Amino acid sequence: MSRRRRSAGDLWWKNAVIYCLDVQTFLDSDGDGCGDLGGLTERIDYLEGLGVTCLWLMPFYPSPERDDGYDIVDFYGVDERLGTLGTFVEMVRTAQDRGIRVIVDLVVNHTSHNHPWFRSARKGRDAPFHDFYVWRDEKPDDKPKDVVFPGEERSTWAWDDQAGQWYYHRFYTEQPDLNTANPAVRDEIALVAGFWLALGLAGFRVDAVPFLIEESDRAAAASQEPHELMRDLRAYLTRRRGDAVLLGEVNLPPDQAVEYFGETADELTMEFAFTVNQAMYLALVREDAGPLVKALRSLPEIPRECQWVNFVRSHDELTLDQLSEDERGEVFAALGPEPDVQLYGRGIRRRLPSMLDGDERRVRMVYSLMFSLPGTPALFYGEEIGMTENLDIAGRLSVRSPMQWSGERHAGFSPAPEGARLCRPIPDGAKVTVESQRRDPDSLLNWMERLIRRRKECPELGWGRLELLESAGPVLAHRSDWQGRTVVAVHNLSGRPAQVRLPRDDGWERLTDLLGTDDHAPGDELELEPYGHRWFRPG
């Protein structure tokens, strides 16, 4: 089927503000210690007030929770602790009433070992779902890079006594990989996506896309082209909802990541800008914009219908695997030197304020930078108030502690009795809360609301073309132009004053400060205070 060319009105994600949350850690409405869809629905107005236009939900499906819900036993259900399909639809409709679209995690590169498909597959080679998974009679050789969780898993192959064969798993042993080269599996993936679209979703965040389309079963894949899976899924979604999005997790260098958009923009709609994110942290540590400039210049031209998504922190560890070993060591030494906060040899399991020693000047500069980069910004819940992690929670889950709403019991997350067991523990004496920051006009929360409002008023940043401006040392200066309008942004990545010369252009008389009152004339020499940042609109 030929893909119709989308109008500007269809490309809503170009100027969206994405907010990611885990339902079970956002708000508990019934006192059982676990967040739920009812609690999320109560807080939709909060998200609208913050300026969110796209809500991304982490997995909420029935799961034994070996991998925080990414090990799924029913792709068509809602975990009974979190609600029902009815409460899910009510939440989606409430969000739509507030102008917020909802996307959810589509996790179809593997299932839980408790999924009915795998339970059937284990019964033998002639079982109905045996070919839904990847099996071998002899264990293939492993490559160290293939293990996603080094230190927790030694191999990507596990023996199953009942089947009498080895099965493939990229993640945990309890997460057997689906054989996506099997046309029947691809049909099931489409059915799952279609089911949730029919309940009002605007699209999906697709987990671990390179793993999803890899040729795990080379014999079955002989007649399949790996990227055909994404093209077929995109076409299927577009037929059912013309403005549906596929936001992909593709942690690869730009020259490889761009392939997942498709040659004719017929695969992923958006991709996370992992290369830019990792370079940003190296630039912060060095107080030198050079690594970030290099990363931005490495981004290839992408189709008009596609978009990079910028972020400061994801829901996993801060992944630094695209940096060299020496560069990664620099970031570890500065932002997470303790072995306990380093994970899998590639990441840091802390949130931004902890990594930056609570320096709010620096925190604000980082978010100003992220929101000013051309693309779509994404926030992880709690970032708007500067929440920190809870290192008492093991592994990458340390950054997924419950949302801190108030100074009440359990930080306002749950009405459960004192001493009740929550889905995850909250740090004792949590002082960073929504309630306290709402009362403070100079708080991070109120500043973030103003930043988001200004970002939504600057479509140049979502639609325009990036041009890096001449600057040196710690200063990143760039402009974004679209339909005769321009935004100029300058950021000082260092803890010392820095100078930058503002650009001039024909017809410019004044550079209006969009984040304050520090207007300037084109061509002025601007001195930025430590971690200073400005957005300007020429006029």
Whole-number Å distance between alpha carbons of 522 and 512:
10
Enclosing H/E stretch for 491? strand 485-492
Query: CA separation (Å) from 407 to 410, 434, 435?
Result: 8, 9, 8
Backbone φ, ψ for residue 136 (5° rounding): -145, 145
Contact 364, 356 (CB under 8 A): no
Look up 249 and say whether it is catalytic.
yes
**Which residue matches tokens 């709402």?**
438
Residue 178 has what DSSP assignment? B
Annotated catalytic residue 207: yes
Q: Which amino acid is at 413?
A: F
Q: Is the dihedral of CA 281, 269, 185, 226 positive or negative?
A: negative
| In 98-162, alpha helices (H) | 116-121
Contact 280/288 with Cβ under 8 angstroms? no
Please pick, among 249, 271, 384, 460, the residue that the annotation labels catalytic.
Answer: 249
DSSP 409-422: GGGGS--PPTTPPP
Separation CA 428–CA 422 (nearest Å): 13
Q: Indicate the burial class of 370 (C-beta count within 10 angstroms; 0-12, 13-18, 19 or more).
A: buried
Closest CA to 342 of 272, 398, 386: 398
Beta bridge partners of 338: none
Catalytic residue among 36, 71, 207, 389: 207
Q: Which residues contact 109 (CB under 8 A, 6 or more apart)?
A: 170, 177, 178, 180, 207, 208, 211, 212
Which whole-number Å values give the CA distances from 336 to 287, 331, 343, 355, 404, in the listed order?
Answer: 17, 7, 10, 7, 24
Q: Which residues are catalytic?
A: 207, 249
